[in-house]
Amino acid sequence: MQQVSEIIDYCQTLYEDLSFAAAREWKAAEQGRKVVGYMPVYVPRELIHAGGMLPLGILGGGEDLEVIHGDAYYQSYICRIPRSTVELAVSKRLDFVDGMLFPSICDVIRNLSGMWKLMYPELYVRYFDVPQNYKDEIGGNYYVHELQELRQGLEGICGRTISDDDIRRSIAVYNENRRLVNAVYDFRAREPWKAPSWHVYLLMRAGMILPVEAHSQLLQDYLAAAAADDQPMRDNCRVILQGMFCEQPPLNLIKSIEFAGCYIVDDDCMLVGRWLLRAVPAAGDPIANLARAFLKYSTETAAKYEPDGSRKGRYLIEAVRQRGAEGVIFAAPSFCDPALLDRPMLANALTRENIPHISFKYAENSGQMQPIREQAGTFADSIKLWSEA
């Protein structure tokens, strides 16, 4: 059996590699292989996989990429992920990518899709829109149409028809991956001292670059190794992290929060693997099944439109109860409209339920962790020493 440290070291190598060598190697291993990049928060990776292509999560340049050209494309009051993503492209780190999907998350990412079309007219570039209306006959029909268009676009890249059977097989593969991703999250919530959040984070990041089958195997190996790893439980408080669904936090930020005395028992980083809450039926019309899954049982988050204002924040309160969390840390990227505009409503919902919460902002290249340690440390102390529980 592999050791936890071996698995995490491997994931960290993938995480730090801004040339995406693993994806390049996958592509080079067989002639005709194609890679399709996608940005946060959600795209139906099943369709890419069904075309025999590799879905590649592009989550910005992280803390180690020096952004030189990217800053010229955006105003100073825009978040960092589009700048560093442009930097990745301009510096030819994404020159092996055959198509790019920009999901509907905010105006900045929508604009980025337009820039990509201008910069790379030979590439398949799609702004992937999702419904804001969850009725079958309105949002449902719209989304089925959107998925069909995406399917046709992807067929143009892989050069073959993507059949219903192809999609059904991919749905089954991703169902298994989702099951394992959820199993890791559940394991961490149960025994957070055995699954530090920076481990879990790196594991999920590996899923952005590895083929899904390899990622599922990695998750399985980790679960076995971590369960056997005898780590002592520390007297930490249990918190949920919110607001990290698009621009990713530096790894040190996650470590700092844990070192400061908080076990992170849930988070919303990399929601693509957890967007659909149940297994998608692998039988029947696969496009209709994917559309129905999005409409009826996809995750609630600040990144998704909630038509019923009275339900705002309910998912977070339920997550607190379900995970046995004692507080919520809102950590959002600077200038992230979806996260920051929702934060007051979510915070109010928590306050009404007497759930402690704090908030701060970060950028993917934030280096100074002292203020974050300070905030998280005092938050943990206030829960441990002064909460009524």
The residue among 215 and 323 lying less far from another protein, judged by its C-beta, is: 323
- How far is the first Cα of the chain from the last one, in angstroms, to the nearest whole number? 40
Q: State how far the Cα of 266 lies from the Cα of 302, in Å rounded to an integer.
A: 15
Residues 259-278 binding another protein (CB under 8 A) are: 259-261
Residues 226-245 binding another protein (CB under 8 A) are: 232-236
Q: Where are the alpha helices (DSSP H) in 333-387?
A: 337-352, 370-386
Q: Examine residue 374 and tell whether it contacts another protein (CB under 8 A).
A: yes
Q: Examine residue 386 and tell whether it contacts another protein (CB under 8 A).
A: yes
Three-class SS of residue 362? strand
Q: Examine residue 195 and tell whether it contacts another protein (CB under 8 A).
A: no
Q: Which among 2-10, 142-150, 305-313, 369-377 is the span making contact with another protein, rule CB under 8 A?
A: 369-377
At its nearest, how many Å lie between another protein and the CB of residue 69? 31
Q: State how far the Cα of 268 lies from the Cα of 245, in Å rounded to an integer.
A: 5
Q: Which among 154-162, 282-290, 357-365, 374-382 is the span making contact with another protein, rule CB under 8 A?
A: 374-382
Q: Examine residue 385 and tell whether it contacts another protein (CB under 8 A).
A: yes
The residue among 156 and 371 lying less far from another protein, judged by its C-beta, is: 371
Q: Which among 173-181, 258-266, 299-307, 345-353 is the span making contact with another protein, rule CB under 8 A?
A: 258-266
Rounded to the nearest 10°, the torsion over CA 255, 261, 263, 264 is: -50
Q: Examine residue 6 and tell whether it contacts another protein (CB under 8 A).
A: no
At its nearest, how many Å lie between another protein and the CB of residue 113? 41
Cβ contact 360:331 at 8 Å: yes
Nearest to 88 by CA among 39, 46, 121, 34: 39
The residue among 52 and 377 lying less far from another protein, judged by its C-beta, is: 377
The residue among 75 and 368 lying less far from another protein, judged by its C-beta, is: 368
Amino acid at 113: S
Measured in degrees and rounded to the nearest 5, phi and psi for residue 37 equal: -85, 150
The residue among 97 and 254 lying less far from another protein, judged by its C-beta, is: 254
Q: DSSP labels for 263-329?
A: EEEE--SSGGGTSB-SPPPSSS-HHHHHHHHHHHSB---TTS--S-GGGTTHHHHHHHHHHT-SEEE
Residues within the interface to another protein (CB under 8 A): 232-236, 259-261, 373-374, 377-378, 380-381, 384-386, 389
